[in-house]
Structure 1
């Protein structure tokens, strides 16, 4: 027996030793790709030496003899820290993910091939200005210099992920950077899905006029009544079923409600305590590890610039120079229109146009798939745009037999000079110069907030389609592609884009809110990103005569929900402090406890409080009860509470209280009945998930920020190594916006928000600050992988200085690139 026991010990010890050796082997090979920031490297493609000074937050400060050399250095730095991320962005734009991930990403690849982003990017290379062309070539050479170093020195294939998903890395070319710019437009556009959903709701409702309740227009003058979708396409099935693709984490197409959101505000010298202009900006995108943003400083011939870059692109997209600050917020310009194209019944290779039937423009595209045979996709285009698959956006649910759907979209052009515009803004020395430089910007449409040393301004940049006043649906629901009046007629002039320069109030800002009210067809949009955060911003801005850098930071980090303050008195109007005494543990008593907590709450979505969870769960259950009997399965598409819908119902605007009556029941329910029942639903859900001690609940436990690795983060056991999870404050409608997932099992996870924050003070520019949500490195073994994450969570920042001596004094390493 003892002999057997000794052998069992030896076997167990041997297994432990083998596991340790395997872990050491994994660590060795993974660590080989950790960059050495303190060395001299000889490389081809440089005109003179370049210095990349890494400060103690691993922000590269890049110095060179020419702008081309500086962009070379940026490409090298991006590839040092974010090579995997860059290659994934490129593969996504090319529609080549399935070469690594197999059939799981085939739907993503097929859709992006149909859009042909990479083909349009290749065409756009020839229309960039000379400066941008040179910058793109130099940046590409810098990326390739890092690839050459990785190959020559066997540096672990450049990133740990490359061992798991091994594939050759092609040299970087300018088209790759242009394609990533177009990919951003996909991530920041949501009108297409909104059009399709509006059509689906119109078909689902017994009274289609009630679409205006559940998908309300933002407050302001109304628009003309739209036709019902069934009037435009009488043969469409009201309750059609079609296959819809499951979303993959690498899919760049945003889910409804996630098509970009951001904050930016500025103060003129007369509203600044120190007498200089102020600018705050926090663009919002989906969270990931690493973050999409990468901090960098470039010392250009026009002066130093510092701020947020996106790996793969040679531009500081939000940041400052010595004389100018610039920030971006999504403008929600209506730059997408869905068309239903009628096929020729005698030849399905043709579609109807105003001039009769014409053949589709067609091209075959081969998609290689890991562990499967390649497939050939037949790509088709109409005069309006590419033909989309019925499994995307639910298009198959609204497309009548004998028809297909296409999309017109401003980003689908081979004459896209958006990157030239970005580099022009980055080098501008004044607000006027920056507005002029942005004229050639195409997509995605943005609100560009600007400050120089004296002036503040906001300008909507990007192409705005010119529509005919006779357009059948005003671009709000899919329309007939063969009718000339529904088609675009070029673009609106840049001068007509909204512009606000040097306002008398000395303050301006944007939270994706409605900026202008113009009648169709001169409108900017019918759909806006926000009608709530802007109210809180107005209160904070107007509460002070003058502002400081710290008051702008305070506003950026504000967690008070205007929505909670305005809606709770409405939905609980007949519930507060009512009801008979009830024994502990009964539903009535639990309801009283919850209402007591909410009655004394100020609307602050603080991670340590229980009230935000009670409020969020109640509103979510309330919207579900209001719409599920009318919309049926379509209710699942409404993953987030629309405050305007709730307000319309409880104020009975245009008879909207009819939503409170459950059609399937004999009694006539009131809104108070539904509010009470929804609160009980919410408390049951909370009790099952978090327990019945409501006073001990923490919003932050439910509202965790999910900075997850898009590929490895979903793998059991090892996902936790790559993912960064944090308890956070804020919510869907706070200035410190933490957009929730909206879906089970974790509907309140914080999945979309400010991956970058910057506040620029031109009274003392070097006191400006910025932060990103994870760290600079994309390497999970690097100490810079998540070192900024806790600062970001706590609302802290790091300095944003253009002083080269400060950068060198705090340097953790200096990489010197020398011409070979």
Structure 2
């Protein structure tokens, strides 16, 4: 079942061997499963069935990141405050109770396809087997995992994103507040696919680069699963069954955030004298109210009153003004992310991929696909209901009238889909569906306006523009072009900042350091390379003056003053203004600082927008630390009847600081290189680090 790993072999303890022989760790034996780890720390699982594979997946995930898995499960159960304490954990537990997630998860799990439920139970059994074999790693606050926990995780992830992202932003706009900075942790992404008509050797390409935080719930874990003659290779979040981004011998897929309007805030009118009543269509209705108890570590339990209208739970009240705000979440009762990408294991092409998609599998995302037959595809996923486009759904809407009530769910086949467009390529870098290729066959007038963005033009300051520019300009693309694009560090939004400074000094020429700094910026090729000395100047300017929206509102004299203040800060901090990016920008893994090229998105401390993204959110000492951005890069090529791929993580495949794979990819990540994915058993055996055989229940 397990043991202490040594490079190339496995040493199993006598006590553990006794447990294995008695079958105490796995119940009724069904078949053996092998986990072969290569020298990059990637587990390759060889199983006889999907349930056996799920069991081994859990075991391998536990080896790499057990603490986070148990924490995520505990949060999804609504027991974070009891286990960990703190206001953040209490708020998390309250969210789960407000939106009634426990009974929803119970129902969805009971209705789950029996095969999928068996896989979830097998995954839970794998986690429990690891805990039994390693009792010293089991925290006092955790008992055992169940298959239901995976459905709970699915719902918690969905609602957290929809409520704390979409609905929270709508509420803050309605209250006249700026969006919270912490609402965007670098959650943007790139992907593109290219058909054989646009490639030099008749290949089909797919590139994926999700821009997400490098730790926490959205931290990627790379693996391969082989069952008989079929296999999949990809990355999943810890606590998930199948790869959210990945490929098989036939099909590759990727996703980006489509910024959907999949949650709405309703402005509620409370009765002038009775907080227990709200107004709707000429009547005063009773506010639905219940009391919940939240156990809190080290403190007395808290009694919380949860109030709701027929729209959904009330999340904010202003009783002085007799107003409240309620939230409705699309797909709350239907979406189960446990089905996400599950059918792709057997799919042979993008048409199978299309047929396998259904309402309830996804609550958001753009998705692209490419297959070994040369087909490419784009799908717009969204769980959303019909709504009246006469209302501005990006702001709180009037909850007292029937006109703002939702209609039925929009069917999956009514959403935007594009297969084999004439251009021969598709990109999506969080831009609208209608700007994903040149001469797009998709038109916004053919779909409801409230799905998501309706723009038909790309901003020149956007990643989508940069990707389209390269895909459209090159006649015959090669795989090396795909890898270069994935590592592209042209700072497409930096010209906005330079133009603002040029404007500030138009009537008052710069002198001294300001003149030297402007000369550096004018001569800069916009490449956010490790050697460049322009991005530290602009980043310090942003630190002092704020983002471009704030800078644009400053008078020229104020811009000049802030710029010169930033240059003085650079001199005090680093002894000069010509400081290479390698000195001041990078990742931090434990005590290992690794200089990084690239820049972040619009909410970063370095908001100059590059395809390859190192999203810096904090200054630690005298360095800006990137903790998000390009979070798992994958480039796939179907050619010569086969497939090959390159992949890369920011740190390594393990969250265990004692593991050799905790930070072994950091230097490669910074260098601009990739590692080759090992797809055949022979390739894995040649680079074998450890081998283990499990007996799955």
Q: TM-score, normalised by structure 1?
A: 0.74
Is residue 187 of structure 2 the alignment partner of residue 311 of structure 1?
no
Q: 1:494 aligns with which of 406, 412, 418?
A: 412
1:816 counterpart SS class: strand
Is residue 218 of structure 2 the alignment partner of residue 285 of structure 1?
no
Is residue 140 of structure 2 the alignment partner of residue 167 of structure 1?
yes
Deviations 1:417-436 (A, max 9, x none): 33224212343221011122
Go from structure 1 to structure 2 and tell me whether the alpha carbon gap of 1:33 and 1:281 turns closer, same or farther (over 3 Å shift).
same
After TM superposition, the structure 1 stretch with the greater mean CA deviation from structure 2, 566-575 or 808-817, is: 566-575
Match of 1:455 in 2: 375
Deviations 1:508-544 (A, max 9, x none): 1111012236369534224999861112112222332
Q: Write out aligned runs for 1:355-370 (5 A).
A: 356-370=283-297
Match of 1:133 in 2: 117
Flag the structure with higher strand content: 2
Deviation at 1:760, TM superposition (A): 0.5
Go from structure 1 to structure 2 and tell me whether the alpha carbon gap of 1:565 and 1:445 turns closer, same or farther (over 3 Å shift).
same
Contact 1:606 1:729 in 2 (8 A): yes
Go from structure 1 to structure 2 and tell me whether the alpha carbon gap of 1:641 and 1:172 turns closer, same or farther (over 3 Å shift).
farther
Q: Write out aligned runs for 1:540-579 (5 A).
A: 540-569=470-499, 571-573=501-503, 575=505, 579=509
Deviations 1:30-66 (A, max 9, x none): xx99767835755325421111111111211111221
Q: Write out aligned runs for 1:631-710 (5 A).
A: 640-641=547-548, 659-660=553-554, 669=555, 672-691=556-575, 693-695=576-578, 697-706=579-588
Q: Write out aligned runs for 1:367-766 (5 A).
A: 367-389=294-316, 401-413=321-333, 415-453=334-372, 454-471=374-391, 474-516=392-434, 518=444, 521-526=448-453, 532-569=462-499, 571-573=501-503, 575=505, 579=509, 588-619=511-542, 621-622=544-545, 624=546, 640-641=547-548, 659-660=553-554, 669=555, 672-691=556-575, 693-695=576-578, 697-706=579-588, 720=590, 725-731=593-599, 732=601, 733-741=609-617, 748-763=624-639, 765-766=642-643
Go from structure 1 to structure 2 and tell me whether the alpha carbon gap of 1:357 and 1:132 turns closer, same or farther (over 3 Å shift).
farther
Go from structure 1 to structure 2 and tell me whether the alpha carbon gap of 1:55 and 1:291 turns closer, same or farther (over 3 Å shift).
farther
Q: 1:199 aligns with which of 174, 179, 182?
A: 174
Q: Write out aligned runs for 1:34-53 (5 A).
A: 38=10, 39=12, 41=20, 42=23, 43-53=26-36
Deviations 1:773-803 (A, max 9, x none): 2222222111122222222222332222321
Q: 1:109 aligns with which of 89, 93, 96?
A: 93
Match of 1:19 in 2: none
In the alignment, the residues of structure 2 paired with residue 604 and residue 307 of structure 1 have an alpha-carbon distance, to the nearest angstrom, of 30
Q: TM-score, normalised by structure 2?
A: 0.87
In the alignment, the residues of structure 2 paired with residue 514 and residue 565 of structure 1 have an alpha-carbon distance, to the nearest angstrom, of 23
Contact 2:47 2:228 in 1 (8 A): no
Go from structure 1 to structure 2 and tell me whether the alpha carbon gap of 1:819 and 1:598 turns closer, same or farther (over 3 Å shift).
closer
In the alignment, the residues of structure 2 paired with residue 188 and residue 726 of structure 1 have an alpha-carbon distance, to the nearest angstrom, of 30
Contact 1:557 1:736 in 2 (8 A): yes
In the alignment, the residues of structure 2 paired with residue 755 and residue 462 of structure 1 have an alpha-carbon distance, to the nearest angstrom, of 23
Q: 2:656 aligns with which of 775, 779, 782?
A: 779
2:184 counterpart SS class: coil
Q: 1:808 aligns with which of 678, 682, 685?
A: 685
1:279 counterpart SS class: strand
Deviation at 1:344, TM superposition (A): 3.2
Deviations 1:92-124 (A, max 9, x none): 223322223323433333334323444432322
Deviation at 1:742, TM superposition (A): 6.7
Match of 2:270 in 1: 343
Contact 1:127 1:417 in 2 (8 A): no
2:377 counterpart SS class: strand
Q: 1:144 aligns with which of 114, 128, 131?
A: 128
In the alignment, the residues of structure 1 paired with residue 398 and residue 360 of structure 2 have an alpha-carbon distance, to the nearest angstrom, of 29
Match of 1:323 in 2: 250
1:439 counterpart SS class: coil
Match of 1:712 in 2: none
Match of 2:437 in 1: none
2:31 counterpart SS class: coil
Contact 2:204 2:639 in 1 (8 A): yes
Deviation at 1:444, TM superposition (A): 3.9
Go from structure 1 to structure 2 and tell me whether the alpha carbon gap of 1:260 and 1:186 turns closer, same or farther (over 3 Å shift).
farther
Unmatched tracts of structure 2, length 5 or more: 435-442, 602-608
Match of 1:234 in 2: none
Deviation at 1:751, TM superposition (A): 2.8
After TM superposition, the structure 1 stretch with the greater mean CA deviation from structure 2, 294-303 or 50-59, is: 294-303
2:423 counterpart SS class: coil
After TM superposition, the structure 1 stretch with the greater mean CA deviation from structure 2, 338-347 or 65-74, is: 338-347
1:524 counterpart SS class: coil
After TM superposition, the structure 1 stretch with the greater mean CA deviation from structure 2, 190-199 or 552-561, is: 190-199
Go from structure 1 to structure 2 and tell me whether the alpha carbon gap of 1:35 and 1:44 turns closer, same or farther (over 3 Å shift).
farther
Is residue 45 of structure 2 the alignment partner of residue 62 of structure 1?
yes
Report the number of matched residues.
Answer: 658
Go from structure 1 to structure 2 and tell me whether the alpha carbon gap of 1:744 and 1:404 turns closer, same or farther (over 3 Å shift).
farther
In the alignment, the residues of structure 2 paired with residue 372 and residue 279 of structure 1 have an alpha-carbon distance, to the nearest angstrom, of 52
Match of 1:655 in 2: none
Q: 1:76 aligns with which of 50, 59, 76?
A: 59
Contact 2:259 2:430 in 1 (8 A): yes
Deviation at 1:81, TM superposition (A): 1.9
In the alignment, the residues of structure 2 paired with residue 523 and residue 140 of structure 1 have an alpha-carbon distance, to the nearest angstrom, of 39
Is residue 70 of structure 2 the alignment partner of residue 97 of structure 1?
no
Q: Write out aligned runs for 1:218-237 (5 A).
A: none
Deviation at 1:568, TM superposition (A): 2.0
Deviations 1:385-410 (A, max 9, x none): 222256xxxxx6xx863222211122
Q: 2:669 aligns with which of 784, 792, 802?
A: 792
Contact 1:365 1:378 in 2 (8 A): yes
Match of 1:628 in 2: none
Deviation at 1:811, TM superposition (A): 1.7
Deviation at 1:706, TM superposition (A): 4.6
Deviation at 1:762, TM superposition (A): 0.7
After TM superposition, the structure 1 stretch with the greater mean CA deviation from structure 2, 68-77 or 738-747, is: 738-747
Deviation at 1:704, TM superposition (A): 2.6
Contact 1:35 1:80 in 2 (8 A): no
Go from structure 1 to structure 2 and tell me whether the alpha carbon gap of 1:429 and 1:482 turns closer, same or farther (over 3 Å shift).
same
